């Protein structure tokens, strides 16, 4: 289903409701540059670090597309768990898992309060940026403490530059990409307004520093396009 959410005037801040959930897969493909490529890297490192009997969490799993791809590719007996606080997203996820006969657990949960079991892999795709900065590092600390030694945390985020001109140019570059995907100037501006104060991105350095402060021994970028980046943090 094509994303037409912002073709009409917005009346509220952005939220992952039924309207967004219905078009979310299309929205991702057209709104996140090289989305498939960054997901392939995430899948690769997940599979490399997920042993037989292992546990993997996807924080903000949305419609479970990543979990389904990992489920199809893995050759071990591991537990895949997706958490999200949008019931509309989870309804889509459950339908997809059922259609593919995939043994994936998806739950409606607050990722800040959830009682995690010790895991081998955590993934967070464009989720941290929606967590309030005051508690964001606390969540990453919780992830680090819930990972086994040698575990990995893979997260993708929109990033900013603290150089004003460069940051402006990165945004312009991104908007050019969105226009190439068929979004109008009106849709782009509508979505930007809806996300104001809802999506709060950090810089690349700030994300890396946050991971290290939370207890990870190493963190670096494994994929970047303009103001979108995929990180890997090692326990």
Using CA atoms, how far apart are residues 78 and 165, in angstroms rounded to an integer?
46
| Pair of tokens at residue 186 | 């009106």
User: What integer pLDDT is reported at residue 20 of this predicted model?
Assistant: 52
pLDDT tens digits for 140-161? Answer: 999 999 999 999 999 999 999 9
Instruction: Report which listed range, 15-24, 76-85, 182-191, is most confident.
Output: 76-85
DSSP 52: T
What are the tens digits of pLDDT across the range 212-227? 999 999 999 999 999 9
Provide the whole-model pTM: 0.90
For residue 26, what pLDDT band results from cuts at 50, 70 and 90? Answer: confident
List 224's β-bridge partners, or say none: 229
pLDDT per residue as tens digits for the range 67-100 = 999 999 999 999 999 999 999 889 999 999 999 9
| pLDDT higher than threshold 70 for residue 8 | no
How many C-beta atoms lie closer than 10 Å to residue 174's C-beta? 19
Give pLDDT, residue 220. 98
Q: Which CATH architecture has domain 5-234?
A: 3-Layer(aba) Sandwich (3.40)
> What is residue 14's predicted lDDT score, i.e. its pLDDT?
47
Backbone angles phi, psi at 204, to 5 degrees: -55, -50
Q: Sort strands 147-160 and 228-234 into parallel, antiparallel or unpaired.
A: antiparallel
191 pLDDT above the threshold of 90:
no
Average pLDDT over residues 120-145: 97
Counting residues of the chain whose pLDDT is more than 70, the rounded percentage is 89
């Amino acid at each position: 289903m094509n994303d037409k959410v912002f073709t009409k005037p917005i009346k509220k801040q952005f939220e992952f409701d039924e309207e967004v959930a219905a078009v979310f897969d299309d929205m991702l493909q057209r709104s996140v540059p090289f989305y498939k490529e960054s997901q392939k890297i995430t899948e690769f490192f997940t599979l490399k670090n997920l042993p037989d009997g292992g546990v993997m969490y996807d924080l903000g799993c949305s419609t479970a597309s990543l979990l389904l791809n990992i489920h199809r590719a893995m050759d071990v007996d591991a537990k895949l768990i997706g958490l999200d606080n949008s019931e509309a997203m989870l309804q889509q996820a459950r339908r997809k898992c059922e259609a593919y006969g995939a043994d994936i657990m998806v739950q409606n949960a607050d990722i800040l309060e959830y009682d995690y079991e010790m895991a081998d892999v955590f993934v967070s795709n464009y989720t941290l940026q929606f967590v309030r900065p005051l508690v964001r590092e606390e969540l990453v600390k919780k992830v680090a403490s819930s990972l086994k030694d040698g575990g990995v945390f893979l997260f993708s985020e929109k990033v900013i530059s603290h150089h004003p001109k460069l940051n402006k140019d990165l945004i312009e570059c991104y908007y050019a990409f969105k226009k190439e995907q068929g979004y109008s100037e009106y849709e782009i501006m509508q979505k930007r307004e809806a996300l104001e104060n809802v999506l709060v991105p950090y810089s690349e350095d700030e994300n890396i520093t946050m991971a290290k402060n939370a207890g990870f021994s190493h963190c670096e970028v494994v994929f970047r396009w303009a103001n979108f980046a995929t990180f890997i943090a090692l326990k």
